[in-house]
Structure 1
Amino acid sequence: MANNGAIFVVGLGPGSKEYRTIRAQQVLEEADIIVGYNTYLKMIKDVTDGKEVIGAKMKEEVFRAKVTIEKALEGKKVALVSSGDPQVYGMASLLLDMMIRHGYDIPVEVVPGVTAALAVSSRLGSPLSLDYASISLSDLLIPREEILLRVRKAAEGDFTIVLYNPISKPLLEASMEIIREVKKVPIPVGIVDHAFRDNEKVIITDLDSWKKYEQLIGMVTTLVIGNSKTYVAGNKMITPRGYERKYSY
């Protein structure tokens, strides 16, 4: 007898309902079970009534993936939720990796969402108009030395740099000092906390002055450090795409 179970790994976007995709909303409404980090589940109370909801704490990602698979094997349609996009430091890779390793054959759809880099940059202006690199500063899974090497290489490549998960202040400070050392000039820095949520804060500063705002930086803060062409006009942080090199406007 066929098992009609299915898994949907859903990106919730930055937080507010209007920034979920139409497909994400559809999947959440149709799912039998929703699994997620407790904080994320609070963001989707509009779709959880009448459903089985399985919450988990921080550092319980393996449990979330495991219970999602178990419920799908029972024939349920399960939505495993991540904030932003589930592929960007989210649950998609863990869930798929676990399924491959154990040989599970369950239909899986990854439903993309607006990741933090895009959400915060829209608040800042347009700092990601040219090549950029996103780097997570969480050293729970990746060694500190490896993270700092990536930061240095991104700075040397003159990428606009997006820093996710700036939880460790020593690691954040070390990363910003590397970027400052490489850049040698006061590049613009955008700091956005709680993007598209209550208590949102948007700050534009630079590499020389960012530490004045360090006390505001936490788990739901994302930093955007410009490249050598990024500039600030009014309250907008702008990275030119390169049209000015070829066209007169």
Structure 2
Amino acid sequence: MGDTGKIWVVGVGPGDPEHLTKKATFIVKRADVVAGWEHALKIVDELAKGERVQFTSHQTEENVIAYLAREARKGKKCVVCTVGDPNFSDDQLLEKIRKFGEIEIVPGISSVQIAASQAKVSFEKSRFITFHKSGPINNEKEKLLRVVKEGRRNVIVLPRPWDFMPRDIAKFLIDNGVVKNLEVTVHENLTLSDERVHVCKLSDLLNTEHGDLSIIIIKKARG
């Protein structure tokens, strides 16, 4: 971990520090600057000894990354912590960092993996659709609708916290012809003390609140 100019992007797991990998722990402990969203920084709170810089919006991410790049060129060890695994739903963040130079990605354990394990669904027989991005999501919506209607694969959905949560997803699917009594499972706050698994009908989501750390699983039709 000594390459000048390099920014490390480290997956820090779904929430419980016990899910941090040894490599992630090693890198964060030795970082001069650690950046990330609030939840990610909380996970490494007892490990990070260097300066901390919190992302406050997608618009300011690039300013923080530019600062990290400058510090990295000075020889400082700069780390961006992401919840779960950066390869699952942080493509836009990774692209922003790549604009500033070399990047090293350290995978972590994703809440998507935890949810799939709890639901006993295989990724080989599932379709993962993430709405964790800024900007238009029309293509992702169309993909979700198509895969759910086909019913040939499990569907693992990562909602968008600010405007496309489980309630919005349920309304979108029902408005576009998906049956209301379709069984769904919402996994929320995985590995944390307030973890919750909610099995219900799709229509039940219209009247249910879920937090930002939610994942929806729709199992494929039998047969």
Q: C-alpha distance in 1, partners of 2:175/2:112?
A: 21
User: Aligned-pair distance for 1:40?
Assistant: 1.6
Given that residues 163 and 224 in structure 1 are in contact (C-alpha distance below 8 angstroms), is that contact kept between their aligned partners in structure 2? yes
SS for the counterpart of 1:35 is strand
| Preserved CA contact (<8 Å) 1:10 1:24 | yes
> What is the CA–CA distance in structure 2 between the aligned matches of 1:172 and 1:115, rounded to whole Å?
21
Counterpart AA for 1:69: A
Say if 1:138 and 1:113 are closer, same or farther in 2 by CA, change over 3 A: closer
Counterpart AA for 2:7: I
- The equivalent position to 1:162 in structure 2, one of 145, 156, 159, is 156
Corresponding position of 2:68 = 68
Of residues 146, 152, 161, the one that matches 1:153 is 146
Is 2:106 aligned against 1:116? no
Please show how residues 72-87 of structure 1 align to structure 2 within 5 Å. Answer: 72-87=72-87
Indicate the percent of aligned positions where both proteins have the same amino acid.
Answer: 18
Amino acid at match of 2:52: V
Q: Is the 8 A contact 1:165 1:221 kept in 2?
A: yes
Match of 1:227 among 205, 214, 220: 220
For the residue of structure 2 that corresponds to 1:87, the secondary structure is helix
TM-score by length of 2: 0.83
Residues 1:188 and 1:130: Cα distance change in structure 2 (over 3 Å): farther
Cα-to-partner distance string for 1:67-101 (whole Å, 9 max, x where unaligned): 222221111111111101112222323312x23xx
- The match for 1:36 is 36
Structure 2: unaligned runs, 5 residues or longer: none
Q: How far apart are residue 130 of structure 1 and its match?
A: 3.9
Q: 2:183, 2:122 → 1: CA distance?
A: 12
Structure (1 or 2) with the larger CA radius of gyration: 1
Contact 1:166 1:222 in 2 (8 A): no
How much does 1:228 deviate?
Answer: 0.9
Give distance in 2, aligned partners of 1:210 and 1:75.
50
| Distance (whole Å) between structure 2 residues aligned to residue 171 and residue 185 of structure 1 | 14
Structure 2 vs 1, CA of residues 185 and 173 (structure 1 numbering), >3 Å: closer, same or farther? closer
State the distance in 2 between where 1:171 and 1:32 align.
41
Matches within 5 A, 1:102-113: 104=101, 106=102, 108-113=103-108
How many pairs does the alignment contain?
215
Measure the CA separation in 1 of the matches of 2:67 and 2:114. Answer: 30
User: TM-score if structure 1 supplies the norm length?
Assistant: 0.75
Call closer, same or farther: CA 1:161–1:3 in 2, change over 3 Å.
closer
Which amino acid is the alignment partner of residue 12 of structure 2?
L
- Equivalent AA in structure 2 for residue 44 of structure 1: V
Which residue of 2 is the match for residue 135 of structure 1?
Answer: 129
Q: Give the match for residue 93 of structure 1.
A: 95
Q: Does 1:189 align with 2:184?
A: yes
Mapped partners of 1:137, 1:5: distance in 2: 31
The Cα offsets for residues 9-63 of structure 1, whole Å up to 9 and x where unpaired, read as 00011011111111111111121211111232122111123x1111121323223
Name the Cα RMSD after superposition: 2.6
Per-residue CA shift, 1:85-125, capped at 9, x if unaligned? 112222323312x23xxxx3x3x320011122112223x33
Q: Which runs of 5+ in 1 are unaligned?
A: 231-249
1:65 partner letter: I
